[in-house]
Structure 1
Amino acid sequence: MTQTPEPVVIVGGGQSGLAAARAALQTGLRPLILEASDAAEGSWPRYYDSLTAFSPARFSAMPGLDFDGDPDRYPHRDEVAGYLRHYAALLDAEIRTGTRVRAVENAGDRRPGAFVVRTENGEEIEAAAVVAASGSFARPVRPDLPGAGTFAGRVLHAADYRDANDLAGQRVVVVGGGNSAVQIAYELTGTVERVSLASRAPLTFLPQRRDGRDVHHRLVSSGFDDLPPAWLIHHVRSRLVMDVGDYASAVRDGRLVRRPMFTALDGEHVVWADGQRERADVLLLATGYLPDLDYLAPLGALDEHGLPVHQGGLSLIRPGLAYLGLEFQRSFASNTLRGVAADAAHIMGPLAAHARHAPAQIGL
């Protein structure tokens, strides 16, 4: 009863999927990663050109492989993608790229408790357990905005944005109050004709450096990284924006104008809460992403919004199903390069028990 001939299928070969595969191997399970793209590098290559990791290299590495070079630098987007490809090559796990999962179903009577994973190229793979680690880049949040149907300009998402020069000379309103929104808006200053930043709450800046060291030293040493969401809400009232000082300075001196969220779009204009109207050519939504999990619909494991019903990454609907890479899945550091390995270790023990039919082994 201890053998698990079917693999643990991991949907997604980015940082979460790779962390899951490493944890599975350490638990004695056989991981099979199914990655839709042509490389195990996650969504990093598709982010905007100037993106860097928000934590230094020493805190951005996953277990078993450090970043090369200065540990206090902030790795660029392309460097992180290359790091993940290298990490994947070092894992003793089967990785099938170019393999998109279409549906995950119950195996039924043919193997109670197991799954059948169906891919778009017609494969049927039996699995003892499934980890949904497919990320969220394919499902950007595009909120309903009053008057959006009348807006004469372009509406882009941060997922569509690459470089400030693409919007040179235009009037841009960036929507959002997190790291990406502020970083993109700041990058646009000096290149576009005008940029405004619209957010529902005032910006909350977290100084990137204290006492000459990056704040991640304190996030790790103090244990803040490990605080669960239920405790974090007592201390963090809005999204935190990492800042070496440039962003807050730009807001103070007026180079970057932050305004409360506009009330409507009307033709060529956004209408601000105070009634002022501002012409805009581009509305750029830095409004985040949601998990891309439609392939789990046959299991009935998602709520009415298509979101996972889980506790700490373990499905509350279907034993043997787990998630990785969800924002605040278990802690402040969840869904980060430095934090995903801890979440992977947390879910893999229960998955191993399920795959090995632990209840049956004790007579239940």
Structure 2
Amino acid sequence: MYSVIIVGAGQAGLAAAHALARKGIAPGDEMLILDGNDGPGGAWRHRWDSLTLGNAHGIADLPGLPMPRPDPEVPASDLVADYYGTYEDTFDLQVRRPARVIRVDGNAPGPLTVTAMMDGQCSCLQTRMLINATGTWTHPYIPYVPGIDRFTGRQLHTTDYRRKEDFDGERVLVVGGGLSAVQFLLELHEPGGAASTVWATRRPPNFVDRTFDNDDGTWGRAVERRVRADTERGRRPASVVRNTGIPALPRYLDGVTAGTLVSRGMFTRIDESSVTFGGAGDEIPDPDLVRPDSWSPFPAGHREPVDVIFWNTGFRPALNHLSPLHLREPGGGITVTNEVEVVRDDRVLLAGYGSTASTVGANRAGRLAGQVAARRLAGND
């Protein structure tokens, strides 16, 4: 039996493993890390080719091994995979992959049984504690819109995007109000990209008059507090990203002026080769919006022909394998205290859930989960 199994070897999982190893819990013997990917990098290894660490995206250093200054021209998927792989080797974490965890069960206060597909066969492993660090990337969310199954064009999610050339000559509807949608809209307008784009959001785009640097600690903590309030009450948490808004960077504001980053509202029906918009409805733009000109909904009934619907509509926590433990509250969320401690089962810790589902928060959650697990295993909690 293992003392602790960590599910997921992304940022939170590696940070948790490092914290446990510092407490003397040896990887491979007392601690086992299971990862569903074919190699290191977590969700980063699946990011699109044009995403680099030289733009608005960044990554927090893992504990104990700073990341070398990244080449701003190299895809982030390559850089982070190399960095995480080096991290695993440096601390001899002995990650088992690919290992797809199917279910976790077991009545308290006994051990947990982790069922996983490894080496082509189903294995059952027992552990005293489990740290779940599976993130959200494997659970993309697409909202239901009437007629979605009738569309004869192409539909894809953020997870499926690779390069703008894949949309050459096509009319693309980009759905979602987050940073991914903004960046894809601008990229698709570059030479070699789409013939045209339309941006669809439910609300006016939330441009904010600030940058997302690490020095803005007060603002970052306020964002996390809003999300943490949900998890502490067992509500389904909104993402940290949804609470951040869109920074008023010059290239984004230029996109608004050019008409590229202007939302046309939300469509209410999908047909074989078009979508029908529902108008502004009751949505009244906030008079304090940084860029009110980024909101210009089509009139109700407007029909827009499109070849591609590109959903950038977020993710949900990848927690289906924990269903047998009945951790969820009636509202669909999991009650978590101290950011990682599951109220319904003290054998399970969630790293990277709710308020810690961000590059900075995942590090903190991983360290905290490792420390809490070590205390509980030692009988000091």
TM-score between both structures, scaled by the size of structure 1: 0.83
Structural mapping, 1:230-309, within 5 Å: 230-231=225-226, 239-242=244-247, 244-272=249-277, 273=279, 274=299, 275-303=301-329, 307-309=333-335
- DSSP 3-state at the match of 2:134: coil
Letter matched to residue 207 of structure 2: F
State the alpha-carbon separation in 1 of the partners of residues 221 and 244 from structure 2.
17
Q: Deviations over 1:12-51 (max 9, x none)?
A: 1111211111122233434311112222310212122212
C-alpha deviation, 1:52, in angstroms:
2.9
Deviation by residue 1:150-175 (Cα, 9 ceiling, x = unmatched): 32322211111111110110000010
Matched-pair contact (CA < 8 Å) for 2:341–2:349: yes
Among candidates 351, 355, 361, match of residue 377 of structure 2:
355
The answer (yes or no) to whether the contact 2:44–2:76 under 8 Å persists in 1 is no
Find the counterpart in structure 2 of residue 27 from structure 1.
23
Say whether the 8 Å CA contact 2:9–2:40 is kept in structure 1: yes
Match of 2:294? none
One-letter code aligned to 1:114: P
Find the counterpart in structure 1 of residue 340 from structure 2. 313
Which of residues 186, 194, 197 is equivalent to 1:195? 197
Aligned partners of 1:56 and 1:73 also within 8 Å? no
Note closer, same or farther for the CA distance 1:208–1:161 as it changes in structure 2 (3 Å cut).
Answer: farther
1:267 maps to amino acid: E
Give the Å deviation of 1:188.
0.7
Secondary structure at 1:80 match in 2: helix
Q: 1:123 to 1:137 in 2, by over 3 A?
A: same
Maintained 8 Å contact 1:104/1:117: yes
Q: Name the aligned partner's letter for residue 323 of structure 2.
A: A
The residue identity in structure 2 corresponding to 1:26 is R
**What SS does the corresponding residue of 2:372 show, helix, strand or coil?**
helix
CA-to-partner distance for each residue in 1:131-162, whole Å, 9 max, x for gaps?
11112222110110122233232221111111
**Distance change (3 Å), C-alpha of 1:89 and 1:356:** same
1:118 maps to amino acid: T
- In the alignment, structure 1 residue 225 sits paired with structure 2 residue 220: yes
Q: After the TM superposition, which of the residue ranges 307-316 and 140-149 deviates more from structure 2? A: 307-316
Structure 2 equivalent of residue 212 of structure 1: none
Deviation at 1:62, TM superposition (A): 1.9
Distance change (3 Å), C-alpha of 1:85 and 1:201 = same
The 1:81–1:156 alpha-carbon spacing in structure 2 relative to 1, beyond 3 Å, is same
**What is the CA RMSD across the aligned residues, in angstroms?**
2.9
Structure 1 gap segments, 5+ residues each:
210-214, 360-364
State the one-letter code of the partner of 1:11. Answer: V
Distance (whole Å) between structure 2 residues aligned to residue 103 and residue 159 of structure 1 = 24
Distance 1:122 1:238 in 2: 40
CA distance in 1: counterparts of 2:162 and 2:214, whole angstroms: 30
Corresponding residue SS for 1:263? strand
Deviation at residue 246 of structure 1 after TM alignment: 0.9
Corresponding residue for 1:338?
360
TM-score (normalised: structure 2): 0.79
Alignment size in residue pairs: 338
5+ unaligned residues in a row in structure 2: which ranges?
A: 230-240, 280-298
Q: Equivalences for 1:1-364 in 2 at 5 Å?
A: 6-30=2-26, 31-53=31-53, 60-69=60-69, 76-106=76-106, 112-120=109-117, 121-190=121-190, 191-206=193-208, 215-219=212-216, 222-227=217-222, 229-231=224-226, 239-242=244-247, 244-272=249-277, 273=279, 274=299, 275-303=301-329, 307-311=333-337, 312-326=339-353, 329-330=354-355, 334-358=356-380
**In 1, Cα distance between equivalents of 2:307 and 2:68:** 42
CA distance in 1, matches of 2:346, 2:137: 26
Higher mean alpha-carbon deviation, 33-42 vs 296-305, is at 296-305
State the percentage of identical aligned residues: 30
